[in-house]
A and B are shown apart, each in its own frame.
Chain A
């Protein structure tokens, strides 16, 4: 018990309720604030209450979101000793994000993978991006290998296909969620409210691209490497027991910056932009290149295209 008490994850609803009731019982009537300190895992009683009664992101008022964000920052400070800055930048009007990858250019270095891990405060055993080593002249994903570990890449006779969340326009994961903890934002990014997720992992089975990842344990996140520029729907430190996924670096892209994977790519294989802007690079690619999407027959309408140099 003691081990678990020490870990102070934000609540998955059920566990939080248990911990809350247990704490209440232990605290008894008198001197609740002092006696409770252990039971709240260092949090104040009011924060614990507020965490428990925290609303769904889309139903919170602005003031409630402000309070919640302040609480998130306090929790990060208490848990990691790091002062993070949790943003809540709204989507921009007239913006729909899309991504395209030039598979002729990808050389399988996995620079994007690790840029993503650092940018998004991922548990060090989780990677949003999977670079799949494919046989040349084949698009059969069943024969792809994402554990490749060569001395040098690219290997003769192979090509490399990076996969991450496709930000589907018809996302099956959203339909699968029983509590509506995941949804598509107006700028096309499918996001997760980590505090509303109950950890049932239905979305993971619904996703045909294996883009969603579950925190089986407390995220293995070195405090010294935490990226302090975070977003409520993006890369804020996640609790144990919730599902997370690529969110096109919402903390960056809503401010006009590029996603970390695009910035890290040494070959320029990644093209990111606004699908609604007729002069954007992504629109040029869609109009002039032979693009394809993965598992198009499923009708998930990914906003993530692949193309090759002619």
Chain B
């Protein structure tokens, strides 16, 4: 029942959130000559690192948000932070712990800006300083997800489930599991995700965001590390020869002992040791 109700909630949310304005999406973004001053600060004059509670005295000049590190590919696990006991939502799961992820140093906590800057809940093409969020989440959800599907509109230090419950960023897996139920089940039992700090003792696993960048969760293709060398006497792979790859030329062809007599390989001694 609860699964069904969550699904219904999800559907309602997906329908309720309007698509991003197509014409807005066509507009060229104001990169290039634009400066910090172009941004409507809404009365905000400074950024303070002080804790969220209470309003800190604004500093003299607005900070340059463009110098802060951009949002990374993934939120790397923060092994120094205290681990979080995981919510055991499935049966017969021994208790386990979740390694929290590092926060993006430039963007957190949200309230350091948003205690002054009013959030616009209207889905739109994001401008700076949030233009580095390219939301590419979900094959079916393109254009339907919006910041506040996951982020809490009022207190932006938190995430928000579809049912309105506030969540700490360290518990992001609860949020992901609302839609990705199969992955969540496998993750809880250990068939998905990654266990760290050993196979023995209490299970410690990485949070979803340690491997999947939350705003573009699919893995990116990349170049592989180098492959094996061809054993002496074996044929070079055809695509090395075709490409005229150096590795196809390093050793000639032939049997191992022929290579050895040529002095091409160091493996000589076992064969010829008897000779001396």
Contacts and interface: CB of A to CB of B under 8 A. Distances in A.
Interface of A: 1, 4, 15, 18, 102, 107-111, 113-114, 125, 127, 130-131, 145-154, 199, 216-218, 240-241, 253, 255-258, 262-263, 265-268, 271-274, 279-282, 284-285, 288-289, 307, 309-310
B230 interface: yes
B258 to A, nearest CB: 14
A125 B221 CA distance: 26
Nearest to A107: B219
Contacts of B240: 147, 149
A147 B211 CA distance: 27
A144 B96 CA distance: 38
Contacts of B229: 125
Nearest to B193: A268
B222 A281 contact: no
Contacts of B200: 256, 274
Given A4-B269, A111-B225, A273-B190, 20 more contacts: A15-B270, A18-B273, A108-B224, A145-B237, A148-B224, A148-B227, A149-B239, A149-B240, A149-B245, A154-B221, A253-B199, A256-B200, A258-B198, A258-B199, A263-B196, A273-B199, A281-B189, A284-B189, A285-B191, A310-B182
Interface of B: 92, 94, 182, 186, 189-201, 203, 206, 211, 219, 221-230, 232, 237, 239-240, 245, 256, 265-267, 269-270, 273, 276
24 contacts: A1-B276, A108-B224, A109-B222, A145-B237, A147-B227, A147-B230, A147-B239, A152-B222, A216-B232, A217-B265, A217-B267, A256-B199, A257-B197, A258-B195, A258-B199, A265-B194, A268-B192, A271-B195, A280-B190, A280-B199, A281-B191, A284-B189, A289-B191, A307-B191
A266 B92 CA distance: 28
Contact of A216 (B190, B225, B270): B270
Contact of A199 (B186, B197, B270, B276): B270
B144 to A, nearest CB: 24
Given A216-B266, A256-B200, A272-B199, A110 B190 contact: no
List the 5 shortest-distance A-B pairs measured between CB atoms, nearest first.
Answer: A281-B190, A216-B267, A217-B266, A256-B200, A110-B225
B211 A267 contact: yes
Nearest to B200: A256
Given A199-B270, A266-B211, A272-B199, A127 B228 contact: yes
Contacts of B186: 309
Contact of A147 (B203, B223, B237, B276): B237
A272 B194 CA distance: 10
Contacts of A262: 194
Contact of A110 (B198, B199, B226, B256): B226
A52 B256 CA distance: 29
B199 A153 contact: no
Nearest to B194: A268
A153 B222 contact: yes
A288 B227 CA distance: 33
B85 to A, nearest CB: 16
A309 B183 CA distance: 9
A109 B228 contact: no
A268 B232 CA distance: 34
A113 B199 contact: no
B182 A110 contact: no
A253 B186 CA distance: 23
Contacts of A216: 232, 256, 265-267, 270
Nearest to A265: B194
Contacts of B232: 216
Q: Which of B92, B226, B230, B265 has the most CB of A within 10 A?
A: B226
Contact of B191 (A102, A145, A274): A102
Contacts of A148: 224, 227
Contacts of A109: 222, 224-225
B223 A151 contact: yes
B211 A274 contact: no
